[in-house]
Amino acid sequence: MTTYFAAHSAGAARRIRIFPDRFSNRQTLVAANPLDQRLRDSSEQFEADLFEWLRIPSISSDPVHREDVRAAGNWIAQKLSAGGLEVETIETDGHPIIFAQTPAIPGAPVALVYGHYDVQPVEPLDQWKSGPFAPEIRDGNIYARGATDDKGQLLTHVESVLTWLASGEPLPLQVKFLIEGEEEVGSANLERLLPERAEQFAADVIVISDSSQYAEGQPAITYGLRGIVTFELRIDGPRQDLHSGSFGGAVTNPAIALSRLLASVVDDHGVIQIPGFYDDCQPLSECEREQLAELPQSDELFAEQIGVPALGGEAHYTALERRWARPTYDVNGLTSGHQGEGSKTIIPAQASAKISFRLVPDQDPKKIAAAFEAFLKSKLPPSVHMKLTSDHGAPGMLSRLDSPYITAAQQAIEHAFGTAPVMIREGGSIPIVTRFQEVLKADCLLLGWGLNDDNAHSPNEKFRREDFHRGIAASACLWCELGKIPK
Amino acid sequence: MTTYFAAHSAGAARRIRIFPDRFSNRQTLVAANPLDQRLRDSSEQFEADLFEWLRIPSISSDPVHREDVRAAGNWIAQKLSAGGLEVETIETDGHPIIFAQTPAIPGAPVALVYGHYDVQPVEPLDQWKSGPFAPEIRDGNIYARGATDDKGQLLTHVESVLTWLASGEPLPLQVKFLIEGEEEVGSANLERLLPERAEQFAADVIVISDSSQYAEGQPAITYGLRGIVTFELRIDGPRQDLHSGSFGGAVTNPAIALSRLLASVVDDHGVIQIPGFYDDCQPLSECEREQLAELPQSDELFAEQIGVPALGGEAHYTALERRWARPTYDVNGLTSGHQGEGSKTIIPAQASAKISFRLVPDQDPKKIAAAFEAFLKSKLPPSVHMKLTSDHGAPGMLSRLDSPYITAAQQAIEHAFGTAPVMIREGGSIPIVTRFQEVLKADCLLLGWGLNDDNAHSPNEKFRREDFHRGIAASACLWCELGKIPK
């Protein structure tokens, strides 16, 4: 059903309209929304709700926080239920999934809002200016783990629907919520559940706010996501740490063996060396490259913002192309031997690395995982053992851009933000999105209310206070616009 | 004064006698020592003393254990003082140095026993079968951190001297003790003190037991040590951890940059790539290589003992040559990004490694450090920052083998162990040894009572109970034999 952006076809390529306002002479298309005043009146309550939710440390990857994750799920379930939605808490082998819906509206489309109530780990804790679970407003930003990823962004849709329901005005379409607690650990249980519950979850359009605007003051709709596949690689050498004097020279050092393996994955030009790695990559068309090049962007400013002396990466591509539309290889963590103060002259018994690859459309995570393992094995010295485990994988995706849902979203965003959105890709992965498209056969609207410097996955995660409220306003307007589309 | 083994001179090379018993028709040369019975009678007390000392967690690299380190120094100072020695506790900027001496014996030589009361860190703690500071005897071994390195080995000389003093027999020479608390962190304060106190510490021969026998049942005298130089290398990338999806591809990953630097130091054949690294290495003579090859040794057994599928290391050298007489490059630890359970898809802000090189005679640690830094800088991408700090360095050493002190030690060991010692090198470093030779102009006797599988620097460090007592007996006999050498 979904027609992907086909890079090999000039006709299809021309459908990419990164700057939609260049293709129309629209003024603001949407008149004042009937809910706008009510939304303004409720802004304090919206923030109080968000703060309450952010205080729950729902780190899904850490077994210690198991009950906290459940509590965060219960919180949103109760919120939806109290607002009049029919709510079901679906138990899984892991953290529960919350499903909720408003009544069906005959003749109007069905929108499914997807989001997650789990958050990333918080270390290094000493780099947070305020506690990750003690939300605080500073300089117009709400600081907390989960502020932007994804509690804050998801809550915009919950608040807009609850406001519609409380307003007395009829909500112009049916809205369903599918909210999971395992997005940060791979969404395995939701993926498993999806085919079984396809009828319950059925929708015409899926709405997800778990990404970013293009820049401050420039909202965006995301038409592409990268895929991902992650690994843990462990090298085992001697049975235990050895004295580097008595044994050094005759024993392969696992930390060096690991470094050599990790180094061999990429060459001096940032090109990944795994045989076949790029075979299935959907290449960027000249048309798309030209439009991407027109987006306002400065490598120098970008480098300065993140605090590096210069950007790095694959040769022959711009920084934006490398972040949005090229696959990557990253080492997320290293562990071996002595990590404390001072020196300890040992050959460590083992060394391990956390590794992630970001993938682009048409790369298959399973195929990449197999190629990576074969590559590592071909490079492994016989004097150490290797163990490679793969955590989770998801392919990348590209949305169709010619749907009425996109137009509706453009109008809602322009109404709330005062600026027409640009169409962008996103380097991150929302693994479940591809599965939604496959199983539910619905279009996806990726409406990011965050900013690139929101520190998702890092210390001092934040969400701009104003964007939280604009997100609610855009969402409230989106239901209006989507409701006009004939089923 | 010291004549080193000169590999370039065939005449000098011939002086290396790895199997001394092949060069004489000696039977056991030393008659029963007058102290032998008394030593046997005191064996329980010796163990009680050692256990008491081992219980003090004197980890010199960890500021938390500062007072424990001092307590371990006090313990040995009081032991020596109670035994009748004149004792001085020398305060330093770090941990104190204990100096003690018996009365001067006119016409007899002076022996200086050097040892250390500090120990290595103990992690990973979960791999210890009994507490590192709760000494325990199992299968004829004394298990504890410091059991072999160096409290147990050093105590053999203390107990032998105290037994001589308590016996009524006149100790045949003057014995001095120089016992420091910073051997495991580079001996910087002792090094500084050495020239100032050269007269106080003056000796004809220096006795050190901080190494190993060649094998169980085959005692040894060590004629060569490797040098060392250690580093911490840190790579700094972005100001903080970044989301590997939103930023991955455009930012140099510090963990990958570190891996690539670490990997570039050595090639596929184990040859170190730093320009000039091997320039000053004293090469192994054919004569020494032939004799080393005759030492009983099995690569398969060695690999099995340490639990690796195969040995590794520099091409064109045997495992023994690589451990004793070739320089090495080891990574002692790696730290970066996410090290907990599960995955966290970040580009870590920084990555660091602990690094050690073992050096062979004539390599200068300062020159190697400079060459290493230049090499790393030449390989560093412009998109990250690098910080290299050097912890401590010491050159390697080779002893003269034609001294009467060596003969005295051979006889004492043969008496106590029932087997003539072989002459060996040791891959480890005792940085202070070279400084002793330079400053005190005295010969060094490196008499290792330990075994190679004693787990020095690793979990479950041990010292064979029998070797503790044989070490005491050999030491008691050594004073006798050294006393016969005219001053």
Mean pLDDT of B16-33: 50
Percent share of chain A, pLDDT over 70: 93
Residues from chain B that touch A150, judged by Cβ atoms under 8 A, are none
Q: What are residue A218's phi and psi, to 5 degrees?
A: -130, 90
Angle at B327 between CA B350 and CA B334, to 5 degrees: 20
Q: Is the pLDDT of residue A119 over 70?
A: yes
DSSP B165-205: HHHSSPPSSEEEEEEES-GGGT-HHHHHHHHHTHHHH--SE
> Would you tell me how many other CB atoms lie within 10 Å of the CB of residue A25?
6
CB A263 to CB B266 under 8 A?
A: no
Q: Return the residue matching tokens 């330093």.
A: B92
Closest CA–CA distance from residue A288 to any residue of chain B (Å):
18
Q: Between A306, A313, A333, which is nearest B249 by CB?
A: A313
DSSP-derived letter for residue A218 is: B
Residues from chain B that touch A311, judged by Cβ atoms under 8 A, are 250-252, 383
CB A343 to CB B226 under 8 A?
A: no
| Co-location of B415 and B347 in the same domain | no
Q: Return the residue matching tokens 């694959």.
A: A314
Closest residue by Cα to residue B105 from B12, B186, B35, B176: B176
Q: Between A312, A323, A458, which is nearest B381 by CB?
A: A312
**Banded pLDDT at B355 (limits 50, 70, 90):** very high
Task: Identify the domain boundary among A373, A394, A415.
Answer: A394
CB A249 to CB B120 under 8 A?
A: no
pLDDT of residue A1: 22
Residue A41 lies in a domain: yes
Please, what's the largest Cα pairwise distance for chain B? 81
Residue B135 lies in a domain: yes
How far is A314 from A323, CA to CA, in rounded Å?
A: 10
Closest CA–CA distance from residue B322 to any residue of chain A (Å):
5
| Co-location of A233 and A220 in the same domain | no
pTM of the full structure: 0.78
Q: Between B338, B354, B358, which is nearest A332 by CB?
A: B338
Q: Between B212, B239, B323, which is nearest A249 by CB?
A: B323
CB A313 to CB B252 under 8 A?
A: yes
Residue B165 lies in a domain: yes
Residues from chain B that touch A337, judged by Cβ atoms under 8 A, are 331-334, 354
Cα A141 to chain center, whole Å?
Answer: 20
Cα B482 to chain center, whole Å?
Answer: 24
How far is B250 from A323, CA to CA, in rounded Å?
A: 6
Q: What are residue B194's phi and psi, to 5 degrees?
A: -55, -50
Share the mean pLDDT of chain A: 91
**CATH assignment at residue A452:** 3.40.630.10
| Co-location of B74 and B115 in the same domain | yes
CB B332 to CB A348 under 8 A?
A: yes
Q: Is the pLDDT of residue A30 over 80?
A: no
How far is A462 from A466, CA to CA, in rounded Å?
A: 12
| Co-location of B29 and B122 in the same domain | yes
Q: Is the pLDDT of residue A14 over 90?
A: no
Angle at B178 between CA B176 and CA B179, to 5 degrees: 135
| Co-location of B218 and B250 in the same domain | no
CB B251 to CB A383 under 8 A?
A: no
Q: Return the residue matching tokens 């990557």.
A: A328
CB A331 to CB B232 under 8 A?
A: no
pLDDT of residue B19: 59
Taking only the tens place, the pLDDT of each residue in B102-145 is 999 999 999 999 999 999 999 989 999 999 999 999 999 999 99
pLDDT of residue A4: 27
**Banded pLDDT at B155 (limits 50, 70, 90):** very high
* Cβ-based burial of B419 (10 A; exposed 0-12, middle 13-18, buried ≥19): middle
Closest CA–CA distance from residue B235 to any residue of chain A (Å):
11
| Co-location of A54 and A108 in the same domain | yes
Closest CA–CA distance from residue B404 to any residue of chain A (Å):
28
Beta strand ranges found along A117-268 (DSSP E)? 136-138, 141-143, 174-180, 205-208, 220-225, 227-236, 242-243
Please answer whether residues A102 and A165 qualify as being in contact, where contact means their C-beta atoms are separated by less than 8 angstroms. yes
Mean pLDDT of A274-298: 91
Task: Identify the domain boundary among A369, A394, A419.
Answer: A394
Q: How far apart are the first and last CA of chain B?
A: 15
Q: In terms of CA atoms, which chain A residue is nearest residue B354?
A: A343
How far is A202 from A178, CA to CA, in rounded Å?
A: 11
| Co-location of A162 and A257 in the same domain | no
pLDDT of residue B20: 55
Q: How many CB pairs under 8 A join A and B?
A: 368
CB B259 to CB A258 under 8 A?
A: yes
pLDDT of residue B43: 96
CB B427 to CB A245 under 8 A?
A: yes
Q: Is the pLDDT of residue B280 over 70?
A: yes
Closest CA–CA distance from residue A376 to any residue of chain B (Å):
15
Which residue range(s) make up the domain with A331?
227-281+327-394
pLDDT of residue B457: 86
How far is A7 from B463, CA to CA, in rounded Å?
A: 70
Q: In terms of CA atoms, which chain A residue is nearest residue B269?
A: A381
Q: Between B308, B329, B332, which is nearest A337 by CB?
A: B332
CB B458 to CB A242 under 8 A?
A: yes
Residue B419 lies in a domain: yes
Dihedral sign of CA atoms A176, A177, A182, A185 in order: positive
Q: Between A252, A334, A428, which is nearest B245 by CB?
A: A428
CA atoms within 13 A on the CB side of B178: 26
CB B243 to CB A383 under 8 A?
A: no
Q: Is the pLDDT of residue B22 over 60?
A: no
Q: Between A260, A309, A358, which is nearest B263 by CB?
A: A260
> Would you tell me how many other CB atoms lie within 10 Å of the CB of residue A307?
15
Q: Which residues contact A119 (CB under 8 A, 6 or more apart)?
A: A57, A58, A59, A60, A145, A146, A149, A151, A184
Residues from chain A that touch B334, judged by Cβ atoms under 8 A, are 255, 258-259, 334-337, 339, 351
Q: Is the pLDDT of residue B258 over 90?
A: yes
How far is A292 from A423, CA to CA, in rounded Å?
A: 10
Query: Most A CBs within 10 Å: which of B69, B328, B343, as the mutation test of the A interface?
Result: B343
CB A250 to CB B329 under 8 A?
A: no
Taking only the tens place, the pLDDT of each residue in B357-384 is 999 999 999 999 999 999 999 999 999 9
Please answer whether residues A223 and A425 qualify as being in contact, where contact means their C-beta atoms are separated by less than 8 angstroms. yes
| Co-location of B175 and B124 in the same domain | yes
Q: Between B62, B226, B339, which is nearest A245 by CB?
A: B226
Q: Which residues pair with B293 in a beta bridge?
A: none
Residue B56 lies in a domain: yes
Q: Which residues pair with B212 in a beta bridge?
A: B450
Residues from chain B that touch A381, judged by Cβ atoms under 8 A, are 312
Residues from chain B that touch A314, judged by Cβ atoms under 8 A, are 249
Q: Is the pLDDT of residue A5 over 60?
A: no
Q: In terms of CA atoms, which chain B residue is nearest residue A231?
A: B343
Residues from chain B that touch A426, judged by Cβ atoms under 8 A, are 245-246
Residue A213 lies in a domain: yes
Query: Most A CBs within 10 Å: which of B65, B271, B332, as the mutation test of the A interface?
Result: B332
ipTM: 0.78
Task: Indicate the number of domains in chain B.
Answer: 2
Residue B407 lies in a domain: yes
**CATH assignment at residue A374:** 3.30.70.360
Query: Most A CBs within 10 Å: which of B305, B338, B356, as the mutation test of the A interface?
Result: B338
CB B456 to CB A260 under 8 A?
A: no
Q: Between B245, B311, B426, which is nearest A429 by CB?
A: B245
Query: Most A CBs within 10 Å: which of B251, B267, B300, B452, as the mutation test of the A interface?
Result: B251
Mean pLDDT of B246-261: 96
pLDDT of residue B59: 97
Taking only the tens place, the pLDDT of each residue in B296-309 is 889 999 999 899 99
Query: Most A CBs within 10 Å: which of B118, B143, B240, B246, as the mutation test of the A interface?
Result: B246
Percent share of chain A, pLDDT over 90: 79
pLDDT of residue A7: 30
Beta strand ranges found along A53-121 (DSSP E)? 86-90, 97-101, 110-116
Percent share of chain B, pLDDT over 90: 79
Residue A390 lies in a domain: yes
Q: What are residue B157's phi and psi, to 5 degrees?
A: -75, -35
Please answer whether residues B203 and B444 qualify as being in contact, where contact means their C-beta atoms are separated by less than 8 angstroms. no
pLDDT of residue A20: 55
CB A266 to CB B256 under 8 A?
A: yes
Please answer whether residues A176 and A111 qualify as being in contact, where contact means their C-beta atoms are separated by less than 8 angstroms. yes
| Co-location of B72 and B123 in the same domain | yes
Taking only the tens place, the pLDDT of each residue in A74-98 is 999 999 999 999 999 999 999 999 9
Q: Between A248, A341, A348, which is nearest B427 by CB?
A: A248
**How far is CA B124 from each of CA A253, A412, B137, B348, rounded to the nearest angstrom?**
17, 57, 21, 24
| Co-location of B432 and B354 in the same domain | no
| Co-location of A115 and A235 in the same domain | no
Task: Identify the domain boundary among B394, B411, B435.
Answer: B394
Residues from chain A that touch B228, judged by Cβ atoms under 8 A, are 245, 345
Percent share of chain B, pLDDT over 70: 93
Mean pLDDT of B461-481: 97
Mean pLDDT of B385-401: 88
pLDDT of residue B7: 30
Residues from chain A that touch B391, judged by Cβ atoms under 8 A, are 342-343
Q: Between A230, A238, A428, which is nearest B306 by CB?
A: A238
pLDDT of residue B177: 98
Q: Is the pLDDT of residue B311 over 90?
A: yes
Can you state the angle between helices B254-264 and B365-379, rounded to 10 degrees? Answer: 130
Closest residue by Cα to residue B389 from B359, B353, B360, B358: B353
Q: Between A127, A323, A383, which is nearest B311 by CB?
A: A383
Taking only the tens place, the pLDDT of each residue in A330-381 is 999 999 999 998 888 999 999 999 999 999 999 999 999 999 999 999 999 9
Tokens linked to B30: 């030393």
Please answer whether residues A225 and A429 qualify as being in contact, where contact means their C-beta atoms are separated by less than 8 angstroms. yes
Residues from chain A that touch B61, judged by Cβ atoms under 8 A, are 340-344
Three-state DSSP class for A455? coil
| Co-location of A267 and A183 in the same domain | no
Poorest-pLDDT segment among A71-75, A384-388, B8-12: B8-12
CB A230 to CB B62 under 8 A?
A: no
